[in-house]
């Protein structure tokens, strides 16, 4: 079992962040496979062929992707804690990736080979400037296959953060970490179980750690580390499958309370802010705010302030009305 140990100060300073680099790595995993989760089929079908052609034309890229998809050790120069919080940019992250010296890259890739469940050699590791070539692969993957979908994914990721921030404000970190993945869990008063693998515990620095959701995978997680004691835990965002498969509120609910309010009540199956609802439903902030006021006055939704945002969720009456009308 691997534990991440946090002091009270580190715990109080831990927070959420977004990472376009982590989202690109997750997308690279999916595109490099011969299959995908059902809700990714449309995106996968549009991009898989072009991505495979990229790998076939570049032995370095092909060898690296195959290794990343079949190892329990993610190379440290690729999995870096995002430095920009919720505003982290792909350019900033790739600049950090490209700075790694060749000696570090080789050492990390050798560890990845040692922790792989497939046979590998590093015969594709030729030439020099391997970190820069890695950054270029990620940039091409981001530009061709992720960037156009990033606004939708970002909205989903921000919604996951909103949900967990609400749990954090109401119940504390153990509840906020609940069901992040199959392995992570709160242990005792000061530690997070990262995995069941036996390896030394990590001690998180006083600046706390980051929790980073990704949308392109439904399972699996990885740990980002930067010396001396900076850590980020990447985990699958909740709701990706449900969002792809949802069909909207039933017509009965729309006839009862109006189509706009019905759409918002249906969408609040998962808590969200006014801006998140507006972005997801394609409505103006004023329109969403007006509908929320009516729903709140009717006792169907309630709002909770989390930092500078108000997070709305359905009440028990809202759940009953939405569930009954949809059914």
Q: What is the average pLDDT across 204-220?
A: 89
Q: Give backbone dihedrals phi and psi of 304, rounded to 5 degrees, phi first.
A: -125, 130
Highest mean pLDDT among 22-31, 212-221, 306-315: 22-31
Please provide residue 141's backbone torsions phi and psi, each rounded to the nearest 5 degrees. -65, -45
User: What is the β-pairing status of strands 301-306 and 222-226?
Assistant: unpaired
CA dihedral 11→16→20→24, nearest 10 degrees, is 70
Is the CB of residue 4 less than 8 Å from the CB of residue 183?
no
Residues 6+ apart with CB under 8 A from 72: 115, 116, 117, 197
Which residues, in sequence order, are CB contacts of 165 under 8 Å at separation 6+?
Answer: 16, 176, 306, 307, 311
CB 326 within 8 A of CB 269: no
pLDDT digits (tens, 9 = 90+) for 229-254: 899 999 998 765 444 444 556 677 87
User: Residue 18 is encoded by which pair of tokens?
Assistant: 């977004």
End-to-end CA distance of the chain: 44
Task: Using CB atoms within 10 Å of the CB of residue 211, give its burial: 0 to 12 exposed, 13 to 18 middle, 19+ buried.
Answer: buried
Sorted by sequence, the CB contacts under 8 Å of residue 207 that are 6+ apart come out as 10, 13, 230
Least confident of 60-74, 160-174, 202-216: 160-174
246-326 CATH: 1.10.10.10
**Residue 309: which H helix or E strand, with range?**
strand 309-314
Q: What is the pLDDT of residue 244?
A: 46
Distance between CA 306 and CA 290 in Å, rounded?
21
Identify the residue with better confidence: 61 or 238. Answer: 61
Q: What does the pLDDT average to over 59-85?
A: 95
**Measured distance CA(257)–CA(290) in Å, rounded:** 13
Phi-psi region of 211 (alpha: psi -120 to 50; beta: other; left: phi over 0): beta
- Does residue 199 or residue 246 have the better pLDDT? 199
3-state secondary structure of 313: strand
Who wins on pLDDT, 178 or 89? Answer: 89
CA 270 to chain centre: 16
Name the segment(s) of the chain with CATH classification 1.10.10.10: 246-326
Burial of 108 (0-12, 13-18, 19+ CB in 10 A): buried
* Average pLDDT score over the chain: 87
Read off the pTM: 0.76
Q: How far is CA 315 from CA 52, 253, 320, in A?
A: 47, 16, 9
Which residues neighbour 147 within 8 Å (Cβ) at sequence distance 6 or greater?
none
State residue 314 phi and psi, 5-degree precision: -75, 145
Residue reference for tokens 């890229």? 61
- Which segments of 69-213 does DSSP mark as H helices, in order? 90-98, 102-114, 130-141, 150-171, 173-176
Does residue 296 surpass a pLDDT of 60? yes
Kindly report the number of other CB atoms within 10 A of residue 110's CB atom.
Answer: 15
């Amino acid at each position: 079992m691997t534990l991440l140990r946090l002091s009270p100060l580190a715990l109080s300073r831990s927070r959420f962040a977004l990472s376009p680099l982590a989202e690109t790595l997750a997308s690279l995993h999916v595109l490099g496979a011969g299959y995908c989760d059902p809700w990714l089929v449309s995106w996968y079908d549009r991009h898989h062929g072009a991505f495979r052609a990229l790998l076939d034309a570049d032995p370095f890229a092909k060898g690296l992707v195959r290794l990343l998809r079949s190892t329990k050790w993610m190379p440290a120069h690729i999995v870096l804690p995002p430095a920009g919080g919720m505003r982290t940019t792909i350019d900033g992250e790739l600049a950090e990736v490209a700075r790694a010296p060749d000696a570090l890259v080789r050492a990390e890739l050798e560890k990845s080979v040692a922790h792989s469940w497939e046979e590998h050699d590093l015969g594709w590791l030729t030439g020099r400037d391997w970190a820069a070539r890695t950054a270029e692969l990620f940039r091409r993957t981001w530009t061709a296959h992720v960037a156009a979908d990033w606004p939708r994914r970002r909205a989903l990721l921000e919604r996951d953060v909103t949900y967990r921030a609400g749990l954090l404000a109401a119940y504390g970190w153990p509840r906020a970490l609940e069901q992040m993945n199959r392995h992570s869990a709160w242990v005792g008063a000061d530690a997070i179980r990262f995995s069941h693998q036996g390896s030394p515990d990590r001690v998180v620095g006083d600046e706390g750690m980051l929790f980073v959701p990704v949308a392109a995978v439904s399972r699996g997680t990885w740990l980002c580390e930067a010396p001396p004691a900076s850590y980020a835990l990447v985990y699958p965002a909740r709701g990706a499958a449900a969002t792809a498969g949802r069909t909207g509120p039933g017509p009965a609910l729309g006839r009862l309370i109006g189509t706009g309010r019905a759409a918002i009540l249906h969408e609040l199956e998962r808590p969200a802010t006014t801006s998140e609802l507006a972005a997801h439903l394609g409505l103006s902030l004023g329109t969403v705010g007006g509908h929320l006021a009516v729903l709140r006055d009717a006792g169907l939704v309630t709002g909770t302030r989390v930092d500078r945002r108000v997070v709305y969720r359905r009440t028990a009456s809202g759940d009953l009305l939405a569930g009954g009308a949809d059914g």
